[in-house]
Amino acid sequence: MAARTLRIALIPGDGIGREVIPAGRRILEALPSSLGLKFNFTHLDAGFETFQKQGVALPEKTVETLKGDCDGALFGAVSSPTVKTEGYSSPIVALRKRMALYANVRPVKSISTAASPVDLVIVRENTEDLYVKEEKTYTAADGSKVAEAIKRISERASWNIASMAGDIALRRQRVRESGAASIHSRPLVTITHKSNVLSQTDGLFREVSRRALAQDKYQSVSVEEQIVDSMVYKLFRQPQDYDVIVAPNLYGDILSDGAAALVGSLGLVPSANVGKDFVIGEPCHGSAPDIEGKGIANPIATIRSTALMLEFQGEEEAAAKIYAAVDANLEEGKLLTPDMGGKATTEEVIDDVCKRL
């Protein structure tokens, strides 16, 4: 069988993104040849440093190359200015819109020997909610300023994200049935919302998600609901109860970053921005300017994001090998970066995972 060649864009961005994105390339190059995969890489620009140099955070060339010449991408991290900067806006938010990447998928998994094992996925709608960034400020009759923001929830986006959550729940169940160790015995999707207060916006999200998950193909998937504030409480108290959590953009953002605390570090948590025919793997951590250049950034989130990218490209066997290599590194616990309580460097961790492949 002829080898499949995947064209992967590498977009380091800012800060430690430049230190961890090379890990993704090395991991792909270290995959066994028996998998029949080859890779072509192209380097592209985006981020605050790009904005400072070129006047735009997301150059048009980057978007055009992704659309015309790439099968997927790895995106590092973005530094955000602490004060309002005229003309600047987040390039990853823009990329999600330009590439129609409507889902942000964030698995959160602990090692199997953890005292309270965690194995869940948060599926976050990626294109709307308050993140449409339609805001205005005006002066009220009493002379005080008032700021308003639009929260937009659509039937189409809600249907798509709920269906994505259902598909992920089924895939996770297939993996479990193949013999993979898991703390779950059945597929479950938890719809998260605040429809008791926001009856029209979150009410629509709840109602459409219910309809989407009632499709025949999801008959084996159990469906439940949680109000978002209750969801936060229960997520931290009893994370083992959750399999796949689906939420609108803002709630999904907060829940997924918070869930990283369950496994010890954002440096472990991957994500994928997924559309109908394109995927961008993206570690959940930021640009971490406090450790930039020190060679101690945790590359695990990027390595897992690389596997997640492959998973959504249909290369589940390759993804599984990467996950297994990472799990073995973490289970052994001899080579951990400082955020995990160890003393290993970025390169030492990358080398160890590559050897395990």
Kind of pairing between the strands at 119-125 and 279-281: unpaired
pLDDT at position 304 over 70: yes
Residue range 47-51: average pLDDT? 94
pLDDT at position 177 over 80: no
Distance from C-alpha of 327 to C-alpha of 307, rounded to nearest angstrom: 12
pLDDT at position 340 over 90: no
Distance from C-alpha of 252 to C-alpha of 123, rounded to nearest angstrom: 7
Confidence tier at 85 by pLDDT (50, 70, 90): confident
Provide Rg for the chain, Cα atoms.
20
pLDDT in the model for residue 28: 97
Helix or strand holding residue 126 (H, E) = none
Distance from C-alpha of 194 to C-alpha of 201, rounded to nearest angstrom: 9
Which one-letter amino acid corresponds to residue 235? L
pLDDT in the model for residue 182: 67
| 8 A C-beta contact, residue 329 and residue 279 | no
Domain ranges of the chain: 1-101+275-357
pLDDT for 252-283, tens place per residue?
999 988 888 888 788 899 999 999 889 999 99
pLDDT at position 185 over 80: no
Distance from C-alpha of 168 to C-alpha of 180, rounded to nearest angstrom: 16
Confidence tier at 242 by pLDDT (50, 70, 90): very high
| 8 A C-beta contact, residue 26 and residue 33 | no
CATH number of 1-101+275-357: 3.40.718.10
- Tell which wins on pLDDT, 191 or 285: 191
Confidence tier at 180 by pLDDT (50, 70, 90): low
Distance from C-alpha of 317 to C-alpha of 232, rounded to nearest angstrom: 33
pLDDT at position 344 over 70: yes
pLDDT at position 34 over 80: yes
Residue range 327-343: average pLDDT? 91
pLDDT in the model for residue 178: 64
Q: Angle at CA 244, nearest 5°, toward 309 and 314?
A: 25
pLDDT in the model for residue 56: 95
Distance from C-alpha of 42 to C-alpha of 74, rounded to nearest angstrom: 11
| 8 A C-beta contact, residue 260 and residue 253 | no
pLDDT for 277-301, tens place per residue?
899 999 988 899 999 999 999 999 9
Residue with tokens 């109602």: 207
pLDDT in the model for residue 234: 95
**For all residues of the chain together, what is the average pLDDT?**
92
| 8 A C-beta contact, residue 266 and residue 234 | no
Strand order in the sheet with 72-77: 37-43, 4-13, 72-77, 279-281, 272-274, 103-109, 119-125, 244-247, 188-193, 222-227
pLDDT for 126-160, tens place per residue?
989 998 889 999 999 999 999 999 999 999 999 99
pLDDT at position 1 over 80: no
Q: How far is CA 270 from CA 81, 110, 122, 200, 242, in A?
A: 24, 12, 11, 32, 18
pLDDT at position 181 over 70: no
